[in-house]
């Protein structure tokens, strides 16, 4: 946190520490490098796992795990359908079905999304919603949109 604040004060990129703004950071996949309207994944990615909890409205952990994937190459946040069902996470239809390309270029149709839930990642809490997909390797994947919104320090 101190390092990120120092970088901001010095006008450096808070993501990589370079002498550019985060908008011009070469280490972050950009929307113009892929068609964000029909692709879950960017061309470039780095990923790591973090402990996480799903919290009830009063702050009590409903579920805790060490299997969340933080993936800068994914355009959006995803949740495994079986995980959502198992933990009674409310899901609803998307306004319109979304057809996307997965990392292996297969077309996937997404027609459901979670309601906004309280998520705690490595001590940081936020309200987040997810597109619901089948057969994710990890129960939850936080993508580029989450990284841009919350700008975490990843060590």
Q: What whole-number distance in Å separates Cα of residue 103 and Cα of residue 92?
A: 25
Range of the domain at 25: 1-30
Write the CATH number for 93: 2.40.70.10
- 20 and 44 in a single domain? The answer is no
- 10 and 61 in a single domain? The answer is no
Q: Say if 60 falls within a structural domain.
A: yes
pLDDT-derived band at 44, boundaries 50, 70, 90: very low
* 13-17, 28-32, 119-123: which is most confident: 119-123
What does the chain come to in residues?
A: 155
| Phi (first) and psi of residue 75, to 5 degrees | -70, -30
Tokens of 2: 């101190």
- 86 and 138 in a single domain? The answer is yes
- 9 and 51 in a single domain? The answer is no
- Model pLDDT for residues 78-101, shown as the tens digit of each residue: 999 999 998 888 899 998 888 877
């Amino acid at each position: 946190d101190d390092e990120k604040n120092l970088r901001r004060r010095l006008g450096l990129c808070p993501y990589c520490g370079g002498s550019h703004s985060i908008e011009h950071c070469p280490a972050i996949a950009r929307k113009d490098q892929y068609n964000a309207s029909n692709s879950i994944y960017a061309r470039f990615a780095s990923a790591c796992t973090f402990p996480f909890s799903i919290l009830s409205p009063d702050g009590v952990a409903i579920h805790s795990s060490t299997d969340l994937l933080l993936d800068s190459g994914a355009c959006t946040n995803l949740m495994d359908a079986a995980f959502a069902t198992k933990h009674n996470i409310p899901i609803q239809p998307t306004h319109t079905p979304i057809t996307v390309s997965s990392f292996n270029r297969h077309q996937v149709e997404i027609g459901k999304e979670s309601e906004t839930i309280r998520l705690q990642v490595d001590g940081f809490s936020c309200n987040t919603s997810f597109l619901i997909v089948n057969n994710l390797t990890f129960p939850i994947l936080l993508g580029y949109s989450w990284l841009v919104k919350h700008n975490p320090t990843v060590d």
